[in-house]
Chain A
Amino acid sequence: EVQLVESGGGLVQPGGSLRLSCAASGFTFSSYWMHWVRQAPGKGLVWVSRINSDGSSTSYADSVKGRFTISRDNAKNTLYLQMNSLRAEDTAVYYCARDWRRYYDSWGQGTLVTVSS
């Protein structure tokens, strides 16, 4: 069974940092591109970042470019999102999602990031 389990969310002050993790199991993690998608409270889905299967190519939404870094460790079957210089508008549930031929066929349960003083 495919499983994606996010962790690392929490309360952080503006300007602070957090690193999210997404542990993958039940499939060959190193074969898939992966994404982070976020959802602010009561709002819609917003794409954050994408990484290819071997980690050599990454892309970011303009709103997080220069502040967030996506990475992966295929030996540990884990996806990461390093978030620096956090702002109140980064408050959201963050989901990792598996990319299969340009659609997300599996999602994690999400981890909540709250940026507040």
Chain B
Amino acid sequence: DIQMTQSPSSLSASVGDRVTITCQASQDISNYLNWYQQKPGKAPKLLIYDASNLETGVPSRFSGSGSGTDFTFTISSLQPEDIATYYCQQYDNLPVTFGQGTKLEIK
């Protein structure tokens, strides 16, 4: 199975800050890396697919980059509504695997 190592596990930042989350795969997954946002009590929501493509309707302050084994997710200017847990996901091979999540809080 492909292991996804996501960091940090939690993050506290101020409104307007630039926030970065990283995800490392245990083997090359090309660009089959997706990012999801999950708010408490809600289903996950797709933000970024194929490492760097912004899902329709998602604000442009969200972005993703990387390929192979190392990936980055960025919020360019943190907004109060961005408080959530963020997960990376690889879908290069089954089983699909997720990072352990990054809980984002407002400072």
The answer to whether B46 touches A95 (Cβ under 8 A) is no
Q: Which residue of B lies closest to A61 (CB)?
A: B95
Residues of A within 8 A of B42 (CB): 109
The number of A-B residue pairs with CB atoms under 8 Å apart is 56
The answer to whether B34 touches A104 (Cβ under 8 A) is yes
Bound state CA distance, A46 and B98, in angstroms? 7
Interface residues on A, range: 20 to 34
What is the size, in residues, of chain B's interface with A at 8 Å between Cβ atoms? 24
Per-position binary interface string of chain B over residues 28-40, scored 1 when its CB falls under 8 Å from any chain A CB and 0 otherwise: 0000101010100
The verdict on B96 contacting chain A, using a C-beta distance below 8 Å, is yes
Given A103-B50, A105-B46, A107-B45; A50-B94 close (CB under 8 Å): yes
How many whole Å from A109's CB to the nearest CB in chain B? 6
Q: Which residue of B lies closest to A46 (CB)?
A: B98
The answer to whether A59 touches B87 (Cβ under 8 A) is no
Given A95-B43, A110-B43; A103-B91 close (CB under 8 Å): yes
Q: Which of A35, A46, A59, A109 contacts B43 (CB 8 A)?
A: A109
The answer to whether B87 touches A45 (Cβ under 8 A) is yes
